[in-house]
Structure 1
Amino acid sequence: MALKLRVHVPPHPLIKHWLGVTRDEATPSVLFRSAMTELGRWLTYEAIREWLPTIDTTVQTPLAPCPATFVNPETPIAIVPILRAGLALMEGAQALLPLASIYHIGMVRDEETLEATCYVNKLPSQFAPETRVLISEPMLATGGTLIAVMAELVQRGVDPALVRIISVVTAPPALQKLGGLYPDLTIFTATIDEGLNDKGFIVPGLGDAGDRTFGT
């Protein structure tokens, strides 16, 4: 049976709250950054359910032995923020995955052709086959940037089935393209918007996530 792209929109009230803060054009940059950090935290919380391998053991409480379950510290985990906007979600994600390695990749989109070009790549030459990868990318509009990043990861041995993507706002064109190329991906997003305008921006969206995060 063919696998299908899995897109989750968690109904958590805090995700809805912070999404509303980021959408509001009156939100100042300092509050926008805080909202993105919180969205990174809560989307990561949802994304890592049943994703992190655990080990069962026994611990000694002050009173008696007791079964306990821990996240397996030997499982390699990587967070890949897509520069620059992906940095806005990374702080919240890293707070929940403190042992994860951070690998940066920088992509810029040509506003005329909408093609993505890589300007910095700090990915390792090879990932261990069992590596879990969490990608932070606030906006999935045309899908070009994420498709380029996925190609780099797969080339380095990453299994798309072990990848989780956290995104604040997504649009159908990106989801359709990703589903066609990587049907076993899983995406966690705060919302799926109706579509794109003639410049490739998500509508209603939240504007340019990078500019609003860094006040530029």
Structure 2
Amino acid sequence: MPPQLRVYVPDHPLIKHWLGVARDVNTPSVLFKTAMNELGRWLTYEATRYWFPTLETTVNTPLTPCNATLINPQVPMAIIPVLRAGLSLLDGAQTLLPVASTYHLGLVRDEKTLENSCYLNKLPQKFAPNTHIIVLEPMLATGGSIMTTMKEIAQREADISLIRIISVVAAPPALQQLNTHYPSLNVYTAIIDQGINEQGYIVPGLGDAGDRAFGT
């Protein structure tokens, strides 16, 4: 059987709560930013549950040696926030991955053509073998930005099966494109909404995450 995109919607009360706060049009920017930070934290927690590379070792307690399982510090990890909106999830993700390298990728969408162009690319020339990558893209709508992001990552020889995409709201068009081109991916999202409107926004969605997070 060929691989198929795996999309996880964690059934966690805190994720549901902060999603509700983020959706509310009356939520002020400062609280919206808090909600996105918390969503970044809890979705990353869920995404890394069976993903962290570990090693078995022995440590000394104050009383006696004992077996211990630790995160393997030799395995490289990377976080890629897709600017601007991805920055709203970054602090939450970094609390769980404090030693991960952070590579910024800035994309801007032409509101008339809905095409994306890159204005900042800090990805490495080539990812080290076995690099575990978290991509922070709050809105998976038309699929334009995430497909551009994945193309840039794939060109740098990343192992697609070691990538986790963290999204707050996802829609079928983006998920269908990811399934077609990158079926070994894993996506973690707070919710899958019904679709997108003519302007390319997810409905019901939560509006423009970048604008709401930064008060612009």
1:1-216 correspondence to structure 2 within 5 Å: 1-216=1-216
In 1, distance between residues paired with 2:129 and 2:73?
A: 16
Shift of 1:36: 0.4
Q: Which runs of 4+ in 1 moved over 3 A?
A: none
Shift of 1:109: 1.0
Q: Tell me the amino acid that sits aligned with residue 183 of structure 1.
A: P
In 1, distance between residues paired with 2:136 and 2:122?
A: 15
Shift of 1:17: 0.1
Shift of 1:184: 0.3
Shift of 1:110: 1.2
Residue 124 of structure 2: SS of its match in structure 1? Answer: coil
In 2, distance between residues paired with 1:70 and 1:148?
A: 35
Q: Tell me the amino acid that sits aligned with residue 214 of structure 1.
A: F
Q: TM-score, normalised by structure 2?
A: 0.99
List runs of 5+ in structure 1 lacking aligned partners. none
Shift of 1:65: 1.2
Matched pairs, number: 216
Residue 188 of structure 1: SS of its match in structure 2? Answer: strand
Shift of 1:116: 1.1
Residue 174 of structure 1: SS of its match in structure 2? Answer: helix
Shift of 1:112: 1.5
Residue 45 of structure 1: SS of its match in structure 2? Answer: helix
In 1, distance between residues paired with 2:53 and 2:179?
A: 25
Q: Tell me the amino acid that sits aligned with residue 157 of structure 1.
A: E
Q: Tell me the amino acid that sits aligned with residue 175 of structure 2.
A: L
In 1, distance between residues paired with 2:83 and 2:184?
A: 24
Post-superposition Cα deviations, 1:84-121, rounded to whole Å, max 9, x if no partner, equal 00000000000100000000000011111111111110
Q: TM-score, normalised by structure 1?
A: 0.99
List runs of 5+ in structure 2 lacking aligned partners. none
